[in-house]
Amino acid sequence: MLEGKKLLITGVMTRRSIAFAVAERALNGGAEVVLTSFGRARRMTERAAKQLPETPDVLELDVNRPEDFEALTAELRSRWGGLDGALHAIAFAPEDALGGNFMRTPPESAEAAFRTSAFSLKALGEALEPLFDYGGGSLVGLDFDASVAWPVYDWMGVSKAALEAVGRYLARDLGPQGVRVNLVSAGPIETPAAGGIPGFEQLAGSWGQQAPLGWDAEDPSPVADAVCFLLSDLSRGVSGEILHVDGGFHAMGVAAKQ
């Protein structure tokens, strides 16, 4: 499905990352992969990379530094000449923008959440656009359902709503050159990033009660498989879409009686 594809994957922190599962499947499927990270987290990414079927290079990318995007574009052009697909798995909100602090969050914290978690998808698309010129491609982002208000998710929820809008506008603007832009709205997965969200364990623990297919918060493979589908040519007619991989939770009004 991904044989010969050249893919950029962000967001690998540990083996528990959804992005790690995507990279693992892509490599096993015959793709060429590079990862990104930055700062102190880069050492964690490099350790995780060594646990993949092949050890991909890790490129520097802080999504809040325009110069990093310029260097990324140049490096990928030099390395491959072009690109087939990329995964955006990047999100961050300051502590005072989560945990029930919605009404007290200062504007600079809300802006930081938006810029890192939503605007970065546009910035990544802009940086990769020249590399897709040789035949289209696929840009996929990881999402969490922003159609409702979640307890304690606060400005990260607002940022996810913005991410969904950014995905639609990118699909509009990149579509004429054959680039697809889609999001995967995943159910809660026990990742390093999720550990920083107050109340996550309670949400993950109760998810399966409303999801008709059930839900295993320790298994990122259903989400990773959906991402790989969207990165592949099998999704060549799909763009501007939000694909829910949550056990059916999003479609249910309330939890079914047990």
Distance, in Å, from the CA atom of 58 to the CA atom of 37, rounded to the nearest integer, reads: 7
Distance, in Å, from the CA atom of 82 to the CA atom of 33, rounded to the nearest integer, reads: 13
Instruction: From the candidates 122, 134, 160, 257, give the one annotated as an active-site residue.
Output: 160
Instruction: From the candidates 5, 153, 169, 257, give the one annotated as an active-site residue.
Output: 153
Distance, in Å, from the CA atom of 212 to the CA atom of 43, rounded to the nearest integer, reads: 39
Q: What is the 8-class DSSP label of residue 115?
A: I
Q: In the structure encoding, which two tokens stand for residue 200, read together? A: 């996550």
- Residue 162, classed as helix, strand or coil, is helix
3-class SS shares of the chain: helix, strand, coil, % to 5: 45, 15, 40
Q: Would you say how long the chain is, in residues?
A: 258
Query: Is 134 a known active-site residue?
Result: no
Query: Is 160 a known active-site residue?
Result: yes
State the catalytic residues: 153, 160
